[in-house]
Amino acid sequence: MRVMISGANGFVGRQLVERLLQQGQLRGQKIEAILAVDQTTDGLLDDSRLRRHEGSITNPALLRRVLADGIDVVFHLVSIPGGAAEANYDLGYQVNLQASLELLQQLRNRQRPPVLVYASSVAVYGGDLPARMDESQPAHPQLSYAAHKRMVEIGIEDLVRRGELDGRVVRLPGIVARPKQPNGLKSAFMSDLLHAYAAGEAYECPVSPQATCWWMSASCCVDNLIRAAELSESQGNRVWQLPVLQLSISEILEALASRFGAENSKNIRFNPDPQLEALFGSLPPLRTTRAREFGFRNDRSASQLIRNALGKYPPFTRPKSTEVGITTHELG
């Protein structure tokens, strides 16, 4: 089994690499090689099964070298995030659309159609969503990033129809908690809020406490990506909207307070950006019956989401009193 991961050194990609190396098999076969493709592979695990391919995904020659000895499963994760793609259309076009279509073209010219798991985005739905929605909601992209994601989805569906690719598309929500660094993501506030609260740092939240977002931890995301690859080949729709947790900022703060102490809530201030909240803070409940039937899942609860996303931070512990009969309470 040979597995390629584009964006292997990204936030989700690195965790996917580690998980696959740890479990050692995929689709019932032993993993012989993981072909890690990224601009740099510094920081990835040192493992004899890992093949490092550094360079731009926009280089067709790089893709040909990676695929030269055959491929069984591809996880295509690399992308220029929404905010960065909107600010630099040419870069977003080259990476999110052109490079993805080139990858599809090279994968279709194979003796046996490989499995492709493509990380799409909930951004394809656009704004102005109904009060409640499900997997049948039509795509209506309102960002270039989302438009390019939808174009690649259509390309994959067409190759599946032609029998030239075993493609599976999963639409990802906001994945937390990403590292605290500039990344071009308009939804970065979701991760930044979690990190700041856990560390006891001051943070100005750009959406209101009532804002509702779709959440998923990176570990849960990796579970779903692997699940997509493991599915038996099936006919019909190959695009799955992953189950999400629809939670308000207030609900997230309550879960954070439960794990890290209510005292940290004093560090959080709000300065809502109406445009940002309209796009990323007004998301309705999302029913995903079909995806659940195929074995996809969410983090189950706000508290579990926080544990999965912020496991590296030690939880708050109540200090023990040295006097009999005295109970110490959290400040709040």
- Axis crossing angle, helix 11-23 with helix 218-230, rounded to the nearest 10: 60
Of 166, 320, 193, the C-alpha closest to 260 is 193
Where are any strands of DSSP class E within the chain? 2-6, 25-26, 29-30, 33-38, 50-54, 73-76, 115-121, 133-134, 166-172, 174-176, 203-205, 212-217, 239-241, 245-248, 268-270, 286-287
Contact 66, 35 (CB under 8 A): yes
Q: Alpha-carbon distance 116 to 211, whole Å?
A: 34
- Token pair recorded at residue 103: 């990858």
Coil, helix or strand at residue 93: helix
Q: How far is CA 304 from CA 11, 216, 260, 295, in A?
A: 19, 10, 13, 19
Of 281, 289, 215, 204, the C-alpha closest to 246 is 215
Q: So which residues are the catalytic ones?
A: 145
Residue 283, Cβ density class (10 Å: 0-12 exposed, 13-18 middle, ≥19 buried):
buried
- Token pair recorded at residue 309: 């996303």
